[in-house]
Amino acid sequence: MEIGAGVCRPSGAPLCETCPLRSFCGAYAALQAGTIPAIESIIPLKAARMKKRDEHVVSVIHELPSETGRKFVVVRRPEDGLLGGMLEFPSVVCLATQAVEVSATLSCACTSLKRVGSFKHIFSHVDMTVDVFHAKWAVPEKAASGSSKKPVGNKESLEKSVKAAVVKALNDLNNQKVNVDSVSVKTEDELKQSATSRVLWKSFELIGGAPKTTKKRSRSSITE
């Protein structure tokens, strides 16, 4: 470390002639061989910056009927990649011009669908624009006595059918296999106790949800 600061030097020409490690230095060997014209401003090599990409996402918040608090369909992202392993509302990357069409498919013919807004979220290599839609579900009323209609289910059966419909829609839109086990139904309180991304909570705020609050950790709870 002292050699790096005093001999190699962070700025200006390095003092190679006085360096005790000169015979082991790849940069000095390259300079002597004429591979590089100088060491300063060239070594160390600067990594090329990753070019940012723009991404448009349609996210549909499926809200299910509940007497014990608001309940929502969420999807766990793959462990590898952006926001790995975190929960999100069912979402699809698409062109901005496809947003309405994609939302119609991803809403799974819900009782009520409404666009509630959009926001931008900036990652180190992605500028993401998220279009948010709110899909509200209701348990269909029971068929009248003597009706030829099939009897409808309860809230539990509705949850199962909506989850299955979301899996199918994601598979159709993403053209890839979505694991059924990655789709679940959680209450607002359960979401606050789960590994969720800031993108989910930004979406949630658009339907009047309270943002997730992070408790301040005491100094004793911080692991160095």
**Each residue of 179-216: pLDDT tens digit?**
889 999 999 999 999 999 889 999 999 998 776 665 44
The pTM score is 0.69
CATH fold group of domain 53-139+153-206 = Nucleoside Triphosphate Pyrophosphohydrolase (3.90.79)
Contact residues for 193 (Cβ-Cβ < 8 A; gap 6+): none
Q: Out of 56-65, 114-123, 207-216, which region has the weakest mean confidence (pLDDT)? A: 207-216
Q: Can you tell me which residue has the tokens 């930004």?
A: 202
**Domain extents for the chain?**
1-46, 53-139+153-206
More confident residue, 203 or 111: 203
Find the length of the chain: 224
| Residue type for position 22 | R
Gap between the Cα atoms of 88 and 130, Å rounded: 12
DSSP-derived 3-state class of residue 89: coil
